[in-house]
Structure 1
Amino acid sequence: MRILIIDDNAAMRKVLAALFSTVGHDVVGALEDGQLLENSLRSLQPDLVCLDYNLPGRDGLTLLRIIQAMAPEIDVVFMTASAEAGLEERAADAGAAGFIRKPFSQQQIVAELKDIADARALARKASTAAPGGRMGRVRGTAVIADDTGSVRIVLKGLLEECGLQVVQAVTNGSEAVQAARNHKPRLLCLDINMPVMGGMDALPQILEASPETAVVMVTGCPDKQLVAEAATRGARGYILKPLRPAYVEGFVRKLLGD
């Protein structure tokens, strides 16, 4: 992969660049802050950004949202030494494909990059494959509701690998209700945190519009109370961000009765 590193610690930038190069990745740039982010994305065209949280000027979450808006096809590994509560969940909801806490081992970050590369490769493969994925036949239709572009891209690929035809991808709960009404999909993946209308508010309206649809919540927060509330409202389970192919495929196949 072509990797751009953004970290204000020069020693960390050097260590990461050496590590990534050793395992076969191409480090196309290293920045000490996000000042040149937009120009760097255009000129360097990375596949992945390794992004620190605490940076001079704009912080990592702000930069992550900019990357999502400009180029959702770029994966982001979010890195931090911060113990700030809820940061991992916020990064996942903002579109981070991976999360690493400092200090980390070489094995940890190499494994994280492999998981991300595998998920993206599967998404690309599914986008060019015939309908039905590896199952060889279409198992029904699906709708994705998530305000993060990279999540929509990867989740679409994973669902289609499971034999589902993704008929629409929307960015808020209100659009999800309308999509359920129009398509009556077999499966609807519903992000919890979205603008206009969140997933928890949209859930009962979706089931009213399409009672046979299996609604699965998508979230970066594995809070047991939240999961229980979603189940009470009719959700059939949840998928945790960052998305991992083995987990998503296993969950969906079980839901489909395979």
Structure 2
Amino acid sequence: MKLPGSVLIVDDESHIRKYVSLILRSLGITAILEAADGAEAVTVFQREHPALVLLDVNMPQVDGLKALEQLMAVDPDCVVIMLTSVANRHTVEQALELGAANYVRKDTPKAEMVDALRETITDCFPDASTP
């Protein structure tokens, strides 16, 4: 897949960032940035302007929902996929209301996660699947 920019992975756990990075690379995405919390995510986003953000909910300093709100304030058209272990209905609805393009659980089997990411990327970036 070819995106019009990089992907920012935001998670306070480095092994999760590495795992998601491997999944993105399996999709052909190699321009990958990382942030360990919501505050760092906003800083990196403002500096690098990634095409896509994969954002955890539970993080220190600034949580994912607050970071999502701040990212949308910077760029209302930014594409954010919540990638988290938190999946209660209220949190999912709140993330979608704040502008998240999708919500994927971290414990989703790898093949299903790949499909969910591919589908969301294709929906948000129609030219991404074109070589």
Q: Normalising by structure 2, what TM-score? A: 0.84
CA contact (8 A) 1:192 1:219 kept: yes
1:188 to 53, 63, 67: 53
Q: Which residue of 1 aligns with 2:73?
A: 208
In the comparison of the two structures, how many residue pairs are matched?
122
Which structure has the greater CA radius of gyration?
Answer: 1
2:40 to 175, 180, 196: 175
Q: Shift of the alpha carbon at 1:202?
A: 0.7
- Runs of 4+ with deviation above 6 angstroms: none
CA contact (8 A) 2:21 2:32 kept: no
Q: Which residue of 2 aligns with 1:141?
A: 6
Task: Return 5+ residue gaps in structure 2 as ranges.
Answer: 123-128
Q: Normalising by structure 1, what TM-score? A: 0.44
Partner secondary structure for residue 164 of structure 1 = coil
Q: Shift of the alpha carbon at 1:243?
A: 5.0
Determine the C-alpha separation between the residues in 1 that align with 2:15 and 2:118. 22
Residue identity opposite 1:165 in structure 2: T
Determine the C-alpha separation between the residues in 1 that align with 2:121 and 2:92. 20
Residue identity opposite 1:181 in structure 2: Q
Identity %: 29
Task: Return 5+ residue gaps in structure 1 as ranges.
Answer: 1-134
Residue identity opposite 1:179 in structure 2: V
CA contact (8 A) 1:180 1:210 kept: no
- The answer to whether residue 106 in structure 2 is matched with residue 233 in structure 1 is no
| Structure possessing the higher relative contact order (Cα contacts under 8 Å, 6 or more residues apart) | 2
Q: Shift of the alpha carbon at 1:206?
A: 0.9
Residue identity opposite 2:91 in structure 1: L
